[in-house]
Structure formats: C-alpha cells, structure tokens
Amino acid sequence: MRSRVRTEIYLDYAASTPCDPLVVEAMMPWLTSEWANPSSAHLAGRRAQKAVEEARSQLADAIGCSSNELFFTGGASEANNIAIRGCAQAHATARSKVIITPIEHKSVLGPCEALVQCGFRREVVPVDRDGRVDLGALANALDSDTLMVSIQLASNEIGTIQPLREVTELAHQVGAIVHADVTQGLGKIPVDLEELGVDLASMSAHKCYGPKGIGALYVRGGAGSRLVKPLCEGGGQERGLRPGTENVPAIVGFGAAAQIASERLESESRRVAKQRDELEEMLVKGLEGVRRNGPMSRRLPGLSSLTFNGVESDAVLANCPELAISTASACNSGAPEPSHVLLGIGLSRHEAYSTVRIGVGRFTTDDEIRRASEKLKAVVERLRSISRSESSIAGQGESVDTKVVALR
Ligand SMILES: *Cc1c(COP(=O)(O)O)cnc(C)c1O
C-alpha cells in the first residue's frame, strides 16, 4: 500500500485514513467472486446478506449497541442528514427547537439550517476557548419545546472530546432527543453508546481505516422506535430507513475496520498520542509564537491544531506540498472563509488563517514525525524572515509564496 512517493508524508488522518490492508483483504471476495444482491433469495444472495449482518454485528460490538439499532448509510454526512431532518420529520408538530454548538460539522449545520427554513428554531450554545460545550448555557437553552440536541463526540478540527454523558442527562430531563456525530471518536477513543446515552449517532468508515462512501446511523431502539423518518423512499433495505442495494464490499470493510480499530484502540491511541505530542513539542519549543488549539486533556490522540503567528497557513502548505496537512477541515477547503470551528472557539480571523491541522495515525512512523516537524519549522522560519525583510525594505519576494490566495 506504500505506493506513494517516499518523500510524501501523510499527516491528514482527520480528513481521511488509508484503508487498512486487512480491511482490503476482507473486502476482496465481495468485489470479485461474490457480487450477488443481498435481497436475492438464491444462495449467493443469502451469502451476501449474511456478510452484511456479520459486519453489522462487528460494528455493534465495537460501539456497545445491538445490531438492529444500526443502519448503514453512504457516510457520516448522510447519517447526520437522516438523523436531523429525519427526526424533525418524525416529530414535525410536537416540538420546534434544535440545539447545536458553533463547532459542529458542516453536515450538521446544513440540515439545521434547512430546518430553520421550515420554521424550526435553532439555538447555538457557546463553547469555551478549548471547544468544550458550556453545560450551563445548554441547561438554560433546554426547554419543553426542544426537539433535539446535536453535539459531536469529538471535533475533527481541534480534537475536543465533549462531555456527552452530561449532555444527554440534561437533554433527557426535558425529553429532548440527543444526536451525536461520533465519527472522529470511532476507533480512536472508546465509544460506548449505551454509556453515552445518546439516541442517535452518526459515523463513517473512512475515518477509521475503512473504505470511503460507507457510514452508519445508530437509532436507539432500532426501526421500531420511530425516532427518525427515512429521507428516501423505495426498496425496503435497512428496514426502510435507507433504501437502495447495500454496498456489500464497503459494509464488510466497515465491519472489519471497526473490529480491528477496537482491538488496537488502547495501544494505538497511546502510540499516536505520543507521536502527536512529540511533533507539537518540537514545533512549540523550536519556534516562537506557536499556539496549540483545543484542550490538553480530553483531546483526540492523533490530532493537532497549531496557530503559527504571522504566517498564513496557505503559504505554509504551498511551501511544503509533500506534507499532507490541512488549513482547516477538508470540507471547508475551497472556501475563502476561515474555519467556523476556529472562529467558534474565539480565534480572530487572522489567527484562523494562520492555523494548520495535523493528523497522526496508524501508519505514521517516528521518522515521519521528525521529518515533518523539521520541514514545518524550516518553512515557518523562512516565511517569517521573508515577511520581515519585505516589510523593512519593501523588497521583491523570493521564490517563496508568502501570500497565497486560497485556491484549494
Ligand atoms: C469526516 C466527517 C464527517 C463526514 O463523513 P463522510 O463519511 O465523509 O460523509 C462528518 N462528521 C465528522 C466529525 C467528520 O470528521
């Protein structure tokens, strides 16, 4: 799987992870010799059906729920949409308020905006400088008109792990439904849905070493609970909640990925956190004006968000294209606006434009950590010295991009 040019270093594990070779191996038969439709009554169809159900129970075991509470979707974005829009449709007239934080994923913010267009009220409860939700403000916002609270388990940009157990306790006191996007937690920190007490949860395979285009929605109590209505009608797949022929290879891969990740969770998260900490140490100690975003404890093990004072993150990226890191969330790239998550925790636009996200993961080596930190340090120093000389002698730029328009 190491076909990349050796000089490239992949440190964007929060945007996507490589498919583990063991996952690819598990998927292989379902891409080659076993192509039948799981809805078919023949033997081959039944084998495919059985593979889907085995994957469902692998995933259920990994997150502490029962198989009948899991519905496969085309990813976490779709699961978030079904959770939020489908919940609103199922309870259309009962309650009219949804509560979120300013640092939710775009695929949560978007559906909430759609609800507002339909007459729902949206209340955004603040988070602190580390991204942690203000539980007092949440308690104040919750009332008997609150239909749902949607708060992620862990931030894909700054790694903050939310006190979800406390969130669900508060929300359930007023009878509100709790949805959690647990995508970034799955496979990286223990996720026990029973313990968290959430009613709906979204997840994705490609953030935990599975294939892209497959995710799942957890619905407490399964289809019978009527917590959500399907957004699409058609075939009865996934007990009517998500019609369409099941993506058997991807589902098998998701099951395998979830199982592998939960088996390795402890040792892997320890190693990954150590590498992340080393990288941060080298940059924070080796350079001036570097700030870590997110909390120092209760943070995702492999994620680092760093603000380099006086240096635009676009310029950093443009000057080390062989380093796969990102300016904000990948979902935001292409947009000239600074990250809503960084603004949400109180960074200025300027600081947000000077922030990079680095994601360490399963296949990161110590050597890559060392090389990446040296490269980043050199690039930041060079950019700073150029902007200093530019401001003092208004000289011509060198062959270095100090100002890069956000084209990505
Ligand atoms: C990646 C991500 C998503 C989107 O998942 P897809 O499967 O790519 O649609 C949603 N939420 C969070 C927190 C993510 O990190």
pLDDT tens across 222-274, in order? Answer: 998 999 999 999 989 999 999 999 999 999 999 999 999 999 999 999 999 99
Distance of alpha carbon 250 from alpha carbon 269, whole angstroms: 24
Three-state secondary-structure class, residue 49: helix
- For 182-216, b/e burial (b = at least 16 CB within 10 A) is bbbbbbbbebebeebbbbbbbbbbbbbbbbbebbb
Residue pLDDT, tens place only, 266-309: 999 999 999 999 999 999 999 999 999 999 999 999 999 999 99
Q: Supply the pTM of this predicted model.
A: 0.93
Residue pLDDT, tens place only, 31-69: 999 999 999 999 999 999 999 999 999 999 999 999 999
Report which DSSP code applies to 359: E
Fold of 21-261: Aspartate Aminotransferase; domain 2 (3.40.640)
Provide the residue ranges of all domains of the chain, joining segments of one domain with +: 21-261, 265-407
Assess contact for 291 and 307: CB atoms under 8 A: yes
What is the predicted pLDDT for the residue at 92? 78
Q: Which atom of ligand 1 is nearest to the CA of 207?
A: 1
| The CATH number of the domain covering residues in 265-407 | 3.90.1150.10
| pLDDT at residue 3 greater than cutoff 60 | no
Residue pLDDT, tens place only, 199-227: 999 999 999 999 999 999 999 999 989 99
Which of 13, 19, 107, when mutated, tests ligand 1's pocket best, judged by the most ligand atoms within 8 Å of its CB? 107
Could you tell me the end-to-end alpha-carbon distance of the chain, in angstroms, rounded to an integer?
A: 26
Q: Residues lining ligand 1, CB < 6 A?
A: 75-77, 105, 107, 152, 156, 181, 183-184, 204, 207, 215
* 2 — pLDDT class (breaks 50, 70, 90): low
| pLDDT at residue 397 greater than cutoff 50 | no
